[in-house]
A and B are shown apart, each in its own frame.
Chain A
Amino acid sequence: MTVTDPNTTNTNNLLITVNNTALNPWTSENTDLALEYYFGKTGGNVISVGGFRKDIKDFSATRREDATPELLESFGLDDSYAAYDVQYRFNAGDARVAGIEFNYRQSLTFLPHWARGLDVFYNKNQQRLQGTTLADFSNFVRRSDNYGFTFSRPKFTLRVKVNDIGRQRRNLITGTNMSPSTYRWRAPRRAVDIDFEYRIRRGISVFVAGRNVIDAPSRHEEVYGIGTPEYSRPNAYWLHGINYVMGFKGSF
């Protein structure tokens, strides 16, 4: 049990955090169905579509509520903590996640000779959440897209990958001056990664790997609910910049 300092000036955050030893594991029944079609001379090209469903039972979530005399007594605390909130994890109920996946990969062998070695790929994941307490799936991503290409020649390989993640709803926000159904949201994000490898001679190559080369915020969060004006939605940015790794590879 953790109790925040009662002498704090931030009286909105008087909190007792308790571990729930009776927390049960959650179980899930997962069903997947996919249709895959392979084509091309080598059979390396593929297009597939699939669906999945996860029926989740007893998933756990965090609850924060006013301290009642009964709750305080169960934790061995007296009424002097009546102004506190109590936060604990509990088995929130059942939920269902259902979605579809699409995947496509092809070598563009029909292009002119100068464009040989070009592969493209695209995959998409779209899913939907249904349940009793939707807010408790704080890391749920509704939509995710990956696409890009690989350009391979005997001397080098270039790979470009784009990752698009849709808007992501996180935790419910309550408190003074908060409109109903106010949540923390993670804004859509696009990241671009580039890998390049140049083979100097057999067994020796030099490479560059760039991550987030368009310098997108690693995290951009907004807090809003019903009627929250646009200008007051931004909440936090995490800017971690571009990351490059360069090096030599050798096999002897």
Chain B
Amino acid sequence: MTGARHADRLLRHAVQGGEVTLAHLLPPARGIEHDAFRGDGSIEVGDMRIVKGEVAVFADADEREVDRRGQQPAAVTAHHFIEVRGIALDAADRARMHALHKVVLDPIAETGGVPGGNPDVFVQLEGVDPVPIDVRQPREHADHFQLGIAGADHDACLATAASPFTLKTGLDLRRMDRDIRDHNRSRYNFVGPDGSNAATSTDDFAGPYNLVDEGFYRGGRTEYGEPWLQYPDNYKLYDLFVAHPEYGFFPSANVVFNLTQNLLLRASYAKTINRPNLDQIIPG
């Protein structure tokens, strides 16, 4: 636990602009078994990455195999660690650290075949500029629904039909926020040792992965490089009305005419909306 707290403090310290030197770091854990590694997060500063993670140490290979199958091994100890990758810390790097504070996750830990990932085999996509993260901004992870419904029933007799009928109508106001902007995220493509891109690499693990920020990570599935979304304002009510007035009003009415005791005539009208699924509009 001490190691974990230290790692969290260190990450927070670096993100808030503090200087991180080798003296802050825990002794790096080496010889990590791939199956046992779980990356918690990392800081990327220029070409350097500081990886925080957890490593399980097994008594023998059989227990490691038990863990790989998703079962609880008989004996395992967990160690938190921080590891520096990329380049050595020197004065120039420390200066860049002050200029570029960017938190990224480390999905490569599980997917790249290298514990903690290997920045040497990742290249940033051209033309995609990473956006510096303001870690103080609130992060929200889900759709918001604010729903208000007003309804009214009315039983009346039509003078012409001389039969009772029921009129149901109402107003349905709802606010549904969804943000799909591709911000706070740097996109990387995995490349093979030969430097080729994901599409031409012969490496078994070749494929596009996204490195995403800490806010995306919470609750997300970083092992697949999936981003975890934020939702500021893409479909907020006011913007929605301005951009698409037709999306803001969904009237409905349902009328039942009792023509005789045994014969009913039903008529209804409703306007509905169907939004795309998230997996159809996630940038990437």
Interface residues of A (CB under 8 A from B): 1-3, 5-7, 19-21, 23-39, 43, 50, 57, 60, 76, 80-81, 89
Contacts and interface: CB of A to CB of B under 8 A. Distances in A.
B238 interface: no
Contact of A30 (B128, B208, B272): B272
Contact of A1 (B268, B272, B284): B284
Contact of A32 (B182, B268, B280): B268
Interface in B252-279: 262-276, 279
Given A35-B265, A36-B263, A76-B125, A20 B272 contact: no
A29 B283 contact: no
B127 A76 contact: yes
B198 to A, nearest CB: 7
A57 to B, nearest CB: 8
B273 A26 contact: yes
B199 interface: yes
Contacts of A50: 266
B281 interface: yes
B262 A28 contact: no
A19 B280 contact: yes
A21 B246 contact: no
A24 B273 contact: no
Given A25-B273, A29-B271, 20 more contacts: A3-B199, A6-B200, A19-B279, A19-B280, A20-B281, A25-B247, A26-B273, A26-B274, A27-B271, A27-B272, A27-B274, A28-B274, A30-B272, A31-B268, A31-B269, A32-B268, A36-B263, A38-B264, A39-B262, A60-B280
B271 A34 contact: no
Interface string B168-203: 000000000000101000000000000000111010
Contacts of B127: 76
A80 B198 CA distance: 13
B155 interface: no
Contacts of B283: 19, 21
A161 B80 CA distance: 61
5 contacts: A7-B200, A24-B244, A28-B273, A36-B266, A76-B128
B275 A25 contact: yes
Nearest to B128: A76
Q: Provide the main secondary structure of the chain A interface.
A: strand
A159 to B, nearest CB: 26
A35 B263 contact: yes
B282 interface: yes
Contacts of A43: 262
B266 A32 contact: yes
B60 interface: no
B266 A3 contact: no
A23 B281 contact: yes
A30 B199 contact: no
A132 to B, nearest CB: 18
A76 B266 contact: no
B280 A30 contact: no
A19 B267 contact: no
Find the residue from B125, B128, B267 having the highest chain A CB count within 10 A.
B267
B276 A23 contact: yes
A76 B128 CA distance: 9
A69 to B, nearest CB: 15
Interface string B223-250: 0000000000000000000001011000
A36 B261 CA distance: 11
Nearest to B264: A36
B282 A19 contact: yes
B126 interface: yes
Nearest to A28: B272
B264 A35 contact: yes
Nearest to A40: B262
Nearest to B240: A25
Interface string B103-119: 00000000000000000
Contacts of A76: 125-128
Contact of A3 (B202, B208, B265): B208
Nearest to A55: B271
A60 B277 CA distance: 11
